[in-house]
């Protein structure tokens, strides 16, 4: 499936310095994706993308993910209205992670619990404190 939608880098030099987008999906067929607010820089969420999800994200300019729990492709905001307009897409050095700079629509949130970011808790002295 991933072979069909994206090429595989022939060597490390191409992977790390090449101009060809050759994302490396894991054994489960997914790649890690981080959504960061394009203006504030706040990290909003971490999710997973199948080749189709990444393809749709690039083609539509709206973030698509693959839900591991539901086992299905997922257009962010489809039910919540929290559509993520994609301002920029980056890949990391070994192309096994994707960074999206997004402009969150709807109420501006990203988290199903109700917070703006999924990272609303900080670890303090080994315990968690909500600090959205």
Should residue 5 be labelled a site residue for its own copies when binding is judged by CB under 8 A? Answer: no
Least separation in angstroms between CB 97 and its own copies: 4
**Cα gap 47→14, rounded to integer Å:** 26
Choice from 5, 73, 83, 111 touching its own copies (CB under 8 A): 111
Least separation in angstroms between CB 106 and its own copies: 17
b (16+ CB within 10 A) / e for 88-108: ebebeeebebbbbbbebbeee
**Cα gap 119→21, rounded to integer Å:** 29
Should residue 73 be labelled a site residue for its own copies when binding is judged by CB under 8 A? Answer: no
**Cα gap 100→116, rounded to integer Å:** 16
> Please, which of residues 11-50 interact with its own copies by CB under 8 A?
16-21, 32, 34, 36, 40-43, 45-46
Pairing of strands 121-124, 84-91: unpaired
Residues that bind its own copies (CB under 8 A): 16-21, 32, 34, 36, 40-43, 45-46, 58, 88-93, 97, 99, 111-113, 115, 118-123, 126-130
């Amino acid at each position: 499936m991933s072979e069909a939608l994206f090429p595989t880098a022939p060597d490390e030099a191409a992977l790390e310095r090449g101009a060809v987008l050759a994302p490396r999906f894991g054994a489960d067929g997914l790649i890690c994706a981080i959504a960061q607010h394009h203006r504030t820089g706040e990290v909003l969420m971490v999710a997973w993308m199948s080749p189709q999800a990444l393809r749709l994200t690039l083609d539509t300019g709206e973030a698509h993910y693959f839900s591991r729990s539901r086992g299905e492709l997922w257009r962010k905001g489809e039910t919540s209205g929290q559509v993520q307009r994609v301002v920029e897409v980056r890949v990391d050095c070994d192309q096994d992670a994707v960074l999206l700079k997004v402009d969150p629509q709807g109420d501006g949130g990203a988290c199903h619990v109700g917070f703006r970011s999924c990272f609303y808790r900080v670890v303090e002295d080994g315990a968690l404190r909500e600090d959205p």
